[in-house]
Amino acid sequence: MASPRSLDYHVEMEKHYYSVPHRFARAEVEVRFTART
């Protein structure tokens, strides 16, 4: 799932926020999650 980033380099996934490395702050990132992660 692609997720848009905010300017503070966090992604939102199911109402939770996760940080990404600074170098990905303005890049499109792929978010993967499972029931165990």
Profile the chain (37 residues) by mean pLDDT over runs of 10 residues: 61 84 82 81
pLDDT of residue 12: 82
Cβ-in-10-Å burial (0-12, 13-18, 19+) of 21 comes to: exposed
pLDDT at 7: 59
Taking a C-beta distance cutoff of 8 angstroms, is the pair 31, 1 a contact? yes
Model pTM score: 0.51
Q: Which of 21, 18, 23, 10 is nearest to 33 (CA)?
A: 18
Output the pLDDT for position 3.
56
Please tell me the predicted confidence (pLDDT) of residue 25: 77
